[in-house]
């Protein structure tokens, strides 16, 4: 299998007005270009229905998300920390599907205004991923003090993030390939 066959969308996990996570998601998307990951940016705003639509309910408003999740071989989730938790809209989105996630890997990028880079939200969301039978990567990338991290052109001011992204993508690709092979062998 060629890694180019592996489709892993970057999920921008907040719909907040003036969200700074969008800069992070765009940076993460750009960094994938140095890898063989086939991806696209997916904005929660483009999928929200305004209420929870459980996976077992047939509803046209959930179809686009379910189709995307089905097609994906893994996920890169950009999640800001809100009061140590994840945004409600990300949870509503994720709850629209279930089996489509099973046995696929997920990589987390935490975003925070503070110095802990979303470490708490990353640990908070992991048990939810387990319930979806997603395989959560041990590594995560933590975007601290995000208000100062990008210049006006959206360029990251700390180049060391490039190495952290590479470590995360290497791990994600390993799992994506192994799990896809295993899913297809069933």
Ligand X SMILES: Cc1cc2nc3c(=O)[nH]c(=O)nc-3n(C[C@H](O)[C@H](O)[C@H](O)COP(=O)(O)O)c2cc1C
Interaction site with ligand X (CB under 6 A): 14, 16, 19-21, 80-84, 111-114, 146
Q: Smallest distance, Å, CB 176 to ligand X?
A: 26
Q: Smallest distance, Å, CB 57 to ligand X?
A: 29
**Cα–Cα distance, 97 to 102 (Å, whole number):** 10
Closer residue to ligand X in complex, CB, 50/115: 115
Q: Phi, psi at residue 152, to the nearest 5°? A: -65, -25
Q: Smallest distance, Å, CB 173 to ligand X?
A: 26
Closer residue to ligand X in complex, CB, 88/162: 88
Structure tokens at 126: 């992991």
Give the DSSP per-residue string, 3-54: GGG-B--EEE----TT-SHHHHHHHHHHHHTTSS-B--EEEGGGT--SS---
Closer residue to ligand X in complex, CB, 54/114: 114
With CA atoms as reference, report the closest residue to 79 among 44, 47, 52.
44
Q: Smallest distance, Å, CB 24 to ligand X?
A: 8
Closer residue to ligand X in complex, CB, 74/117: 117
Closer residue to ligand X in complex, CB, 83/160: 83
Question: Could you tell me the CA-to-CA distances from 102 to 30, 41, 184 in Å, in that order?
Answer: 27, 21, 13
Q: Smallest distance, Å, CB 147 to ligand X?
A: 6
């Amino acid at each position: 299998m060629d890694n180019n066959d592996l489709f892993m969308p970057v999920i921008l996990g907040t719909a907040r007005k003036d969200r700074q996570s969008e800069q992070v998601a765009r940076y993460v998307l750009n960094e994938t270009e140095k890898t063989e990951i086939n991806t696209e940016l997916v904005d929660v705003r483009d999928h929200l229905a305004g209420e929870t639509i459980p996976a077992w309910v047939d509803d046209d408003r959930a179809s686009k998300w379910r189709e995307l999740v089905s097609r994906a071989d893994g996920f890169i989730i950009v999640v800001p920390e809100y009061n140590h938790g994840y945004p409600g809209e990300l949870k509503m989105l994720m709850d629209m599907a279930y089996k489509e996630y099973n046995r696929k890997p997920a990589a987390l990028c935490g975003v925070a205004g503070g110095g802990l880079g979303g470490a708490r939200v990353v640990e908070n969301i992991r048990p939810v991923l387990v319930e979806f039978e997603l395989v959560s990567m041990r590594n995560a990338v933590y975007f601290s003090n995000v208000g100062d991290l990008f210049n006006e052109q959206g360029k990251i001011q700390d180049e060391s993030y490039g190495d952290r992204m590479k470590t995360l993508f290497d791990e994600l690709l390993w799992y994506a390939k192994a799990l896809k092979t295993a899913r297809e062998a069933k």
